[in-house]
Structure 1
Amino acid sequence: MSYLESLRVFVRVVELGSITAGGRDMRLSPAASSARIRDLEERFGARLLNRTTRTLTMTEIGQVLYDNARRVLAALDEAEAAVASASGTPQGIVRIVAPLVAGRRLVAPLVPRFCAENPEVEVRLRLSDRAVNMVEEGIDLAFYLGHPEDSALIRRKIDDCRRVLVASPGYLAEHGSPARPEDLKHHNCLLLRFPRSPEYYWVLDGPQGPIKMMVAGRYDTDDGAVLTDWALAGAGIANRPRYEVADDLAAGRLIALLPDTPPMPAEFGILTPHRGFQDPKVRLFIDFAARALKGAAA
C-alpha cells in the first residue's frame, strides 16, 4: 500500500469523523479504509485512533501524526498545483460543499460539464445546509446563500438571490393571509434551523429599509427542501428562494405573500480559504461556476 495514500486516508478519516466517511471521500470501501489505518499503525507500532461503535478519537500519537501529515500533504498539494499551473493542465481533486437545494438544482448540473472540459480533474460534491469548517474538513470551495461573516474566508459574489414568502391556498383559506409584516407573528412560520443557526427572524425589504421580524413556528428543519414540502402541504408560511418555488407559484400550488415587503435578497456566491497560492483547478472551477450561474439564482 502507498504510504502517502494511507496518510491521506488517515487525515480524511480524522477530518470527517469516521472510517466509513473518510474512506468514501477517498473512494474506498470501509474495509479498505480500515486497512490503510492498520498499515499506518503497523508502520509506527502504535495505535492512532480510539474507536467505539459511536465515536472516533485520536490517540496522542495519532494527533502528532495528523498535525504533521496535514502540513506535509498541504505542501505537496501546493507543489502539484504549481506544477499543474506551469504545465497548463489542471489535475487532481476539487472538494466542494453547497447548500442542499442550491446544490441539487444549480451546482450539481455543472459538475459533468466542468469535468468534460477538464478530464484530469475530479470533483467531490457534498450537499449540506449546515455550516462547515472549510479548513478543518479540507474543503476547497463552498457555495453559500446569505451573508457569511467569516473574515478568514475569501468571498466571491455571483448574484443576488431573490426570496419570497409563500403558503398554500389551503393554509391561507384556513388561517387568512397576512396583510402586513406584523401579521406574521400570528402565523405558523416554517424555519430553517440547525446548531448555531442565526435564523430566528426574517428580514423583510420595507419602504424605509430592512424590517427585522421575529417569527416562530411549531416545527423547524435543517433541510430547506423540507420547508417547501411543508408549505405545499399547508403547514405554514415559508421563506424560500424564488427560483426554488417558481414552478409552484406559476401553477398556483403556492401563493406569494406580502409582495410590497418581500424578504431581503440572499447573496449567492463562493467561499474559499485564504491561501498564498490558489490551486489552478480550484480557480478554474470558480470562474466556470461564476459564469454559468450568473442570473440562475435571481
Structure 2
Amino acid sequence: MKIDNPGDLRVLLQTARGGSLTAAATALGITPAAASATLKRLEQQLGTRLFERSTRAMRLTAAGQTLLDYATRAFELLEEGEAQLATDAGALVGTLRVAAPSDLTRTVLLPWLDEFLAMHPGLQLALSVGDRPRDVVRDEVDLALRYGALPDSRLVARRLAVGRIVLCASPAYLARHPAPQNPQDLLRHNCLIFDRGGKPYRRWRFGQQGQWTEVTVHGDRSVDDASLARDWALAGAGIMLRSELDLLRHLASGELVPLMIDWETEPYPLHALLPSGRFVPRRVRALVDFLAKRFEALDAAGAAGLATP
C-alpha cells in the first residue's frame, strides 16, 4: 500500500470536515467529480474504504479515521515548517493544543501558560479544560496533562510531578463535625464525590504500617468537575480527597485543613502525554520542558511557593 500523491490527502481532510465531497470540492477549488475521483484513487491505492457513503452524508471508517489523524498531523507539521522558515530560526510558531485537569489549570497552570506565551509571541494556545480524560490522538491534542496511572502504553509520557492525594476539610466543617481519626470514621461524614478517570471516585484507600484499608464513602453531592468539589469543601459542605497539587494554596493559607495525617495515601503522579515519539513539534517539546522546570521548582519551594500571590 502506497499513496502516490500525498496531496490527495487534502480531499480526505476536507471531506471529513465538511461531511461531503461537494464541501471538500468547494474548499479545495475543484469540481465534485475531481474530488470523488481523488478519493476513489486513494481507496484503491490503500486497498480499503475510507468513508461509508449514504445519500445524506459520508462517515469515516475506522481506517479512514486512522489515516485522517496522521494526515492532519502531517499537514500541521508542514505548515509549521513553512512558518519556521519565514521567521527567526530560534522562534517557536504555531498552535499548542493542550488538555489539562480543571483545578490544576486554574490554581497552577494559568500563570505559567501566560508566561510561556509571553516568551514566545509566535505561539497560539488552544486550551481544553476538564476532568474527563482526553484521547490524545483522536481529539488532536498535542499535549495532555493527566493524573494517575497511564492507561495507554502507546503514548509517550513524561512525569512532571510525583504528587499525592490529601484528605481535607474546611475549618467551618470541622467546627460542626469531629475530625475523622481513621478510615471507618469517614462513613459518618459527608464526603464530596467527583469524577476521576471519567467515573465517580468513591472508593478511598489509606495505609498504615504497610496495611491498606479501603472504604466506600457517601455524601449528598457529586460532580464531574473537581474544581466545584473544591468550592464545596471551601464552603464547609464536606470532606474531600484530592491531589495536593490542586490544593497547595488553600492548604498553605489554612482554608483547608489536612486530616488523618498519620495515614498514608496513594501516590498520584502527574504526567505529560504526547501522541507519539516521532515528529513531536518543537513548540510542544519546549512547553513540556518549561512545565517540568516549573513543577520541579514548585516541589522544591513547597506549599509556601504557591501561597504567595
Q: Give the whole-Å Cα distance in 2 for the aligned partners of 1:255 and 1:195.
A: 25
| Counterpart secondary structure, 1:217 | coil
| Counterpart secondary structure, 1:155 | strand
Structure 1, residues 155-209: CA drift from partner, whole Å, max 9, x if none? 1101122332112334334332211122112222111127842623122242215
Aligned with residue 32 of structure 2, among 44, 59, 66: 44
Structure 1, residues 39-72: CA drift from partner, whole Å, max 9, x if none? 44995389xxxxxxxxxxx965353797465443
- Paired residue for 2:115? 113
The 8 Å contact of residues 85 and 280 in structure 1, kept in 2 or not, is answered as no
Q: 1:89 and 1:7, CA in 2 relative to 1: closer, same or farther beyond 3 A? A: farther
Q: Give the whole-Å Cα distance in 2 for the aligned partners of 1:262 and 1:13.
A: 53
- Paired residue for 1:264? 266
Q: Give the whole-Å Cα distance in 2 for the aligned partners of 1:215 and 1:261.
A: 17
Q: Percent identity?
A: 30
Structure 1, residues 219-274: CA drift from partner, whole Å, max 9, x if none? 21111121122122222110123344444445544322101014323112211112
Q: 1:269 and 1:194, CA in 2 relative to 1: closer, same or farther beyond 3 A? A: closer
- Paired residue for 1:193? 195
The 8 Å contact of residues 97 and 141 in structure 2, kept in 1 or not, is answered as yes
- Paired residue for 1:72? 71
- Equivalent position amino acid for 1:177 in 2: A
Q: Give the whole-Å Cα distance in 2 for the aligned partners of 1:234 and 1:138.
A: 39
- In the alignment, structure 2 segments of 5+ residues that lack a partner are 1-8, 36-53, 303-309
Q: Give the whole-Å Cα distance in 2 for the aligned partners of 1:211 and 1:108.
A: 36
Is the counterpart of residue 61 in structure 1 residue 49 in structure 2? no
Q: Give the whole-Å Cα distance in 2 for the aligned partners of 1:152 and 1:170.
A: 46
Q: Give the whole-Å Cα distance in 1 for the aligned partners of 2:98 and 2:14.
A: 18
How far did 1:124 drift? Answer: 1.3
- Paired residue for 1:95? 97
Q: Give the whole-Å Cα distance in 2 for the aligned partners of 1:194 and 1:288.
A: 26
Q: Give the whole-Å Cα distance in 1 for the aligned partners of 2:125 and 2:258.
A: 37
- Paired residue for 2:230? 228
The 8 Å contact of residues 91 and 120 in structure 1, kept in 2 or not, is answered as yes
- Equivalent position amino acid for 1:285 in 2: L
- Equivalent position amino acid for 1:126 in 2: S
Q: 1:296 and 1:211, CA in 2 relative to 1: closer, same or farther beyond 3 A? A: farther
Is the counterpart of residue 207 in structure 1 residue 209 in structure 2? yes
- In the alignment, structure 1 segments of 5+ residues that lack a partner are 15-35, 47-57
Is the counterpart of residue 144 in structure 1 residue 146 in structure 2? yes
Larger Rg: 2
The 8 Å contact of residues 69 and 138 in structure 2, kept in 1 or not, is answered as no
Q: 1:120 and 1:173, CA in 2 relative to 1: closer, same or farther beyond 3 A? A: closer
Count of residue pairs brought into register by the alignment: 267
How far did 1:215 drift? Answer: 1.9
Q: Give the whole-Å Cα distance in 2 for the aligned partners of 1:37 and 1:82.
A: 25
- Paired residue for 1:135? 137
- Equivalent position amino acid for 1:132 in 2: R
| Counterpart secondary structure, 2:179 | coil
| Counterpart secondary structure, 2:261 | coil
Q: Give the whole-Å Cα distance in 1 for the aligned partners of 2:240 and 2:168.
A: 5
- Paired residue for 2:279? 277
Q: 1:170 and 1:282, CA in 2 relative to 1: closer, same or farther beyond 3 A? A: closer
Is the counterpart of residue 126 in structure 1 residue 128 in structure 2? yes
| Counterpart secondary structure, 2:294 | helix
Q: Give the whole-Å Cα distance in 2 for the aligned partners of 1:161 and 1:254.
A: 18
Q: Give the whole-Å Cα distance in 2 for the aligned partners of 1:13 and 1:292.
A: 41
The 8 Å contact of residues 167 and 256 in structure 1, kept in 2 or not, is answered as yes
- Equivalent position amino acid for 2:291 in 1: A
Q: Give the whole-Å Cα distance in 2 for the aligned partners of 1:221 and 1:160.
A: 25
How far did 1:9 drift? Answer: 7.9
